[in-house]
Structure 1
Amino acid sequence: MTDAVIDIPTPSLPRPFWTYWLGLLASNLGDAVVSVALPFLALGTLPQGSKRGAAAIGLVVLALSVPRFFAPLLGGLADRWPPRTLLSLGAVLRAAGVAGVGLLALHGGSNLNVVAGLAFILGLLTSLSFTAQSAMVPRLVAPEHLPRANSLTSAAMMGAPLVGYGLGGFGAAHWGAGTTVLIGAALTALLLLGALALPPLPGASSGKLNLLDDLRLSLDVIRRSPLLALFAMNFALNLALNIMNVRVPLHMLAFGRGPADYAIFEMLLSGGVLLGIALVGPLSARFSLDRLIGGGRFVLVLGTAGFILGGVWPWWAAAGVFGLGLGLLEVVTTTRIQGLISSEMRGRVIGSVMAFNALGLTLGAGLAARSIPTSALMLGLTGVLALLTLLWPLAVRRAA
């Protein structure tokens, strides 16, 4: 089945993309609001003075993360179902679930199992939407506009949460977690309007859903160069990110002002990511995607090397550099992967990659929890990323 690409008479993205993008922006804003409110909602289900707060929040975080391992199955759905149907259904179910839990919380009927169940469903629907969207965007826009479309999509997914986290924290503090969750539900529901604006694209693939066959086909595609080299770097990045998520707060407590310096670190990291995303458009007009991937990897190695040093300032500088490389690679790698995979297999391959990345996140958290000096961990990460950077030109030449 061939891709249905909208005819674009002028050098711009089609109107359905912009409508969908606005819905995606609002939805990610709502997801961020809900993600901040959920831990407070979980704490609100415990008796006064309970010492199970950390366990309750940990259960919610785990419930949000586990659905990533179901991504290969969700990718099979994304390949076979019409994108508009799948994204619309996901938006309705997500908004309804969040609103239901918010109403229960306001009326005192919520409990920890309900909150954890909602977190699991949200994680499942978010994974489904991501695979469907990644498979759909290359069919919606002309190939020459794909880097720009991916830049805008990544900016919506990474930029909106910066505002949403603040809104969620303010709402939980002043209006209560239940009301804040309802606000998040209203924002996530706006994705439905964006999904309904999409053209009626059919499913890219036919045939019955078969998880084992889909996994086998996905792995066959992944083994082809340079896909394996791209996914190896994605795995290493997810490993690095969770090590950083655990060690950075501890580092800031040991060498700085704790939460205040950690907040600056996150701001610099996010700012670097957004700058990297913004640079993709002008750079892709001058350099090939493979050269940009090599450059982005080099920037990541420089940023990771900064974490070997002690103190606060070196880590702030490293955060900005690492974020720059991460934002650049996020868009360019996604565009390259979309171009290497046929439309019939995009959802399944991207789903398999998400599950593989979830394993990287899990291993990263496990490594960070061990009594290994932070400098040794960061030195090891720098070495791994440097090796993968050096191997990238070989993978490109092999695929030529």
Structure 2
Amino acid sequence: MTRTPAAARLPRAFWTYWAGVTLTALGDAAVYVALPFLALAAHPAGTGGAGAVGAVVLAGSLPRFLAPLLGALADRLAPRGLLGFSAGVRALAVAAVGVLAAHGTLPLAALLALAFLNGLLSTLAYATGGALVPRLVAPEGLARANSLNSGALMGAPLVGYGLGGGLIHLLGAGGTLLASAPLILGLALAALALPTLPGAAAGGRVRPLTDLRAGLTVIRRSPLLLALLGMSFALNVAMNVMNVRAPLHMTTSGQGAPDYAVFEMLISGGVLVGIVLVTPLAARRSLDALIGAGRWVLVLGTLGFVFTPVAVWWGAAAVFGLGLGLLEVAATTRSQQLVPTEMRGRVVGALMGVNAFGLTLGAALAARPLGTPALMLGLGAALALLALTWPLALRVNRQRRDGEVGQVRPAECGIKQ
């Protein structure tokens, strides 16, 4: 069992990185709000507006399938350069599209290019950060650092969405992009102040298929990583089903957009509470125990969506978010402990690539003519089965570790043959 003691003070380098991530997350959220309005301006309602918005969302999601390649880059290249490049190019691209939008109607092709580039470089920054944080902080501070990092990535957008809405009202969608660019540049500026670190696996060419196979091999050889991957895949399926079915359910059973806004706020609030709880809980419980508990909280929340009343969905959203926050930080920290330093980027990339298939499957399931209660019941049952695999994975991992300890050569014990 892995127990995380009370975290020591985090170094200045981490706080610098965290500040950059927070600023960039604010800018990203404002861009996320502005892009649909720009797509609608290019194709007004009734002339393909819904299709244009869907195309922009798809273009921003496709780069997730390239995560294994980007993870390999995160392993081999210096993190300062990757973070500075990703944030700097994104800021320039957002500002350029903002200028074009301010001077007239923007072609949809430019929006699609921006969405794809933004998604690509965001994925690169995420993989780089996942490999970098364990190198910036001591092992005893890793859980706290991941809690703060997840809080920035999930909490800052709550403010950013409101900021984006206000900026659109004041400046228009194009002006919102121009105002967001300096915020996105925050991570590039923070990268300049980070310590100079080489790539953890410096040297060697990037071979996409070989690197993907290497990342998956590391996962396959670890019972715990396999169990974490299975739950993460199913969770991405469930979340995309919810992303599609929740607005429809709030429209048919409630007041539509206002009820859906409350639903999203409760999920986000639950996530933030779960993230905050990880650090104090990790001081008294092992990360493995927190992961097991988080899985069952997610099951409970998912089963709440089987029922029809909107109030029950609100309660289930808060419970689901709590489990998601607990699992996000605990599983991320445990994965970083299990993966060798020089392989972290490739493993993160492999996980993100597999999860991209989960998101795609979730969207496909949500589009099927299945009743929401039956669909959520099936997802809840699948998550429950996966929750049951965690104790089994722990037992197999313990047996393997004990077997390796027992296989000590006689010469290593001072016994001559």
Q: Which residue of 1 aligns with 2:371?
A: 373
Q: Which amino acid aligns with 2:192?
A: L
**CA shift in 2, pair 1:333/1:27, >3 Å:** same
Q: Which residue of 1 aligns with 2:272?
A: 274
Task: Determine whether 1:19 maps to 2:20.
Answer: no
Q: Is the 8 A contact 2:79 2:199 kept in 1?
A: yes
| 1:136 aligned to which of 116, 119, 132 | 132
Q: Is the 8 A contact 2:154 2:272 kept in 1?
A: yes
Secondary structure of the equivalent of 2:200?
A: coil
Alignment RMSD = 1.1
Task: Determine whether 1:336 maps to 2:330.
Answer: no
Q: Is the 8 A contact 1:98 1:182 kept in 2?
A: yes
| CA displacement at 1:174 relative to structure 2 | 2.9
- Identity across matched positions, percent: 61
> Structure 2 CA distance, aligned partners of 1:37 and 1:143?
39
| CA displacement at 1:50 relative to structure 2 | 4.7
Q: Which residue of 2 aligns with 1:164?
A: 160
| CA displacement at 1:119 relative to structure 2 | 0.3
Q: Is the 8 A contact 2:220 2:226 kept in 1?
A: yes
Kindly tell me the number of residue pairs found equivalent between the two proteins: 390
| CA displacement at 1:366 relative to structure 2 | 0.6
Q: Is the 8 A contact 2:304 2:312 kept in 1?
A: yes
Secondary structure of the equivalent of 1:345?
A: helix
Secondary structure of the equivalent of 2:215?
A: helix
| CA displacement at 1:173 relative to structure 2 | 2.7
**Equivalences for residues 19-98 of structure 1 within 5 A:** 19-46=16-43, 50-98=46-94
Q: Which amino acid aligns with 1:299?
A: V
Q: Which residue of 1 aligns with 2:407?
A: none
Mind listing any 5+ residue stretches in structure 2 that lack a counterpart? 1-6, 399-417
| CA displacement at 1:226 relative to structure 2 | 1.1
The superposition leaves residues 210-240 of structure 1 with CA deviations (integer Å, 9 ceiling, x where unpaired) of 1121111111111121111000000000000
Task: Determine whether 1:174 maps to 2:150.
Answer: no
Q: Is the 8 A contact 1:20 1:193 kept in 2?
A: no
| CA displacement at 1:109 relative to structure 2 | 6.2
Mind listing any 5+ residue stretches in structure 1 that lack a counterpart? 1-9
Q: Which residue of 1 aligns with 2:146?
A: 150
| CA displacement at 1:251 relative to structure 2 | 0.8
| CA displacement at 1:110 relative to structure 2 | 2.5
Q: Which residue of 2 aligns with 1:191?
A: 187
Secondary structure of the equivalent of 2:342?
A: coil
| 1:214 aligned to which of 211, 214, 221 | 211
**Equivalences for residues 302-341 of structure 1 within 5 A:** 302-341=300-339
Q: Which residue of 2 aligns with 1:7?
A: none
Q: Which residue of 2 aligns with 1:105?
A: 101
Q: Which residue of 1 aligns with 2:414?
A: none
Task: Say which is worse superposed, 146-155 or 195-204, in terms of deviation.
Answer: 195-204
> Structure 1 CA distance, aligned partners of 2:96 and 2:316?
42
Secondary structure of the equivalent of 2:185?
A: helix
Q: Is the 8 A contact 2:42 2:105 kept in 1?
A: no
Q: Which residue of 2 aligns with 1:232?
A: 230
The superposition leaves residues 71-130 of structure 1 with CA deviations (integer Å, 9 ceiling, x where unpaired) of 000001000001111101111101001000001111126210001100000000000000
